[in-house]
A and B are shown apart, each in its own frame.
Chain A
């Protein structure tokens, strides 16, 4: 099985340790992912703004980088969602379709492809509030959605419940958006910040010490909001928790 690691641009720049944790976690399961050196971005910033034509070359580069693999694994729900559901600016060749179908967000890959049954190396004796990234939840179906009448499921919580000592806490609004929304955070700063502040207050009122998510972009936004409010919340990517990185 040839597996490639895609490290999103903001993880590359701001959260390199998330990329490292992802790499090491996959190695623990006997997979040695390749890291194509020419990778940049999935094209989401442009597509999210409606600028599909402007995203075409970036999408083509993505496909060139990742065409030869059985799986492309990315520690980001929104990037996986972009590739799988919205990478339509380029012509849909067999190669493009292959890359889109084979791109997995990390939690999905662990849960659905590797079907992992434990993280014996991981221990996290802290109160954790899990943040559902909206693209991961409502786009990739990470779990049941509060708006729908469906059996209650959650892939990320299934994984986190295997981590020794980790205690999940309950928010008032478990799957409400945090207001990042890609370029929304730039063009609608008023509501974006307000949503982020409400979200981190919800984490804090739930008694969380740590916020954990499968998406660093939401957490960068929330971290900024928590710092401004002076809330003592720590933020960790789920890859770091599952890899057993120390708190």
Chain B
């Protein structure tokens, strides 16, 4: 047996670009002591030429109680071709870096299976592991709080901060705090929140949500960042050099870190055996947030539990390799108790997770370790940008998480997928993502949340397709075929096939069925 098709390589031996005009010799990124270009972390494996500036496309428009119009926002993203091109190529590059790491580890598929099994086991015994984690953490001197939902989480954190008279909180990136609207809440009670991850800080200053779980500003070009920093930090608007922008952010954020009253982190893992929680970053910003101010609060979703310290060996090997194609994050920090003179609090948050656990088709989504590999590989996500989903979680994992937070608002999202299955294949904890997207469609159709016209169209198609005579009559003529088939396959009343960029297939001269009848399957009159 001969092999499958290998990706084409460019002259320099690196994988070929789809957007060749992004090709360049050097991007000025960091180099090693031997002068070689480095590509750890979220750096691209090859330098990319920055496209010329253009206005940044914004995310989905949200209306009260109306389903998100992903297609509309995606179209605006695609209509900003420089952003779209860079976005697609950067994320595809992360996917390829991930593949490189996978090929470097013979035990890759074994590790995925182990990670999945450990998570399944933990989720099946979550009550016991949560109690064990709590008792270990308390024994280590950590204060443990429990929050049923986002509002309770925010109240608890506010209470801790108020007890300490804290006015400024520095924090590292946490999808959980995005999920519960933490920054808005803190603003409403007059507490200043400073994000310390560069990408997240850019998004905070621009009043946008992160567009990606691990690369929050991946949808922006350097020119967009220069605009935001000039406006919010007073940097030189004409200077969009990446080193300059990053250094400016470092210099402007550092005094805020030094004078903060409290620090906040999320957690990638919480270990029941020892009461330890683990935070992974590339910037070291979680460690600054946790180790500089006297008070450290960690918000942890209850699904982050794993049983044993040794289980980390499996998950840490997979996490950054899957996310960024880098063997590990620059910092993997284990917090097991407050430092001398410091105080440490943990808030364990449910916010819909325990209910999800009871759904046979969907509970395995709780295995998610938030690596973003499914987003990087998703051809729809790469073309539409994370903000087009109008939700905390975007991309494939978002399609299956978001509807459980607000079924009506996110009812359209499970349809923002071709069900190609690549997401399932890259998932380090083997969540059957595309099957869950498929299952969500059924759930939404059964509760009549897919839109009246779509459901009516499918009902009509089901009638025609289950009656051979009706079906034959419909497609017996060219006009008939073009009238019926578009109804269930190729077009909608707006004729979206021809609306933009795609020509309609030619009308048939004769259907296969007619040919077969006329020629007795080709036996009487060879055609």
Contacts and interface: CB of A to CB of B under 8 A. Distances in A.
B377 interface: yes
A137 to B, nearest CB: 8
A16 interface: yes
Contacts of B5: 130, 154, 157, 168, 170-171, 174-175
Given A138-B422, A149-B103, A182 B109 contact: no
Interface string A5-23: 0010111111110011001
Nearest to A39: B468
Contacts of A176: 379, 422
B18 A172 contact: yes
B441 A50 contact: yes
B372 to A, nearest CB: 14
Interface in A178-199: 179-198
Contacts of B16: 172, 205
Contacts of B522: 20, 23-24
A134 B1 contact: no
B417 interface: yes
B4 A143 contact: yes
Interface SS of chain A: helix, strand, loop or mixed?
Answer: helix
A48 interface: yes
Contacts of A20: 512, 515, 522, 527
Interface residues on A, range: 35 or more
B309 to A, nearest CB: 26
Of listed B75, B102, B422, residue having the most chain A CB within 10 A: B422
Interface in B502-527: 502-506, 508, 510-516, 521-522, 527
Contact of A228 (B99, B503, B510): B503
B500 interface: yes
Contacts, number: 300
Contacts of A157: 2-5
Nearest to B468: A38
A43 to B, nearest CB: 7
Given A14-B481, A38-B468, A145-B425, A49 B441 contact: yes
B15 A224 contact: no
B517 to A, nearest CB: 8
B4 A153 contact: yes
Interface SS of chain B: helix, strand, loop or mixed?
Answer: helix
A40 interface: yes
Contact of A191 (B71, B468, B492): B71
A61 B468 contact: yes
Contact of A193 (B103, B106, B502): B502
Nearest to B514: A16
A35 B499 CA distance: 36
Given A138-B421, A171-B8, A45 B458 contact: yes
B7 A182 contact: no
A14 B3 contact: no
A218 B438 CA distance: 19
Nearest to B458: A51
The 7 lowest CB-CB distance pairs between A and B, nearest first, are A181-B418, A50-B441, A152-B3, A57-B466, A147-B425, A50-B445, A138-B421
Interface of B: 1-8, 15-18, 20, 70-72, 74-75, 78, 84, 88, 92, 99, 102-103, 105-106, 108-109, 377, 379-380, 383-384, 414-422, 424-426, 438, 440-446, 450, 454-455, 458-459, 461-468, 471, 475, 481, 485, 488-492, 496-497, 499-506, 508, 510-516, 521-522, 527
Given A172-B7, A172-B17, 15 more contacts: A13-B481, A14-B481, A19-B516, A20-B512, A24-B522, A40-B468, A46-B462, A51-B445, A61-B466, A157-B5, A181-B419, A184-B417, A187-B454, A190-B500, A194-B78
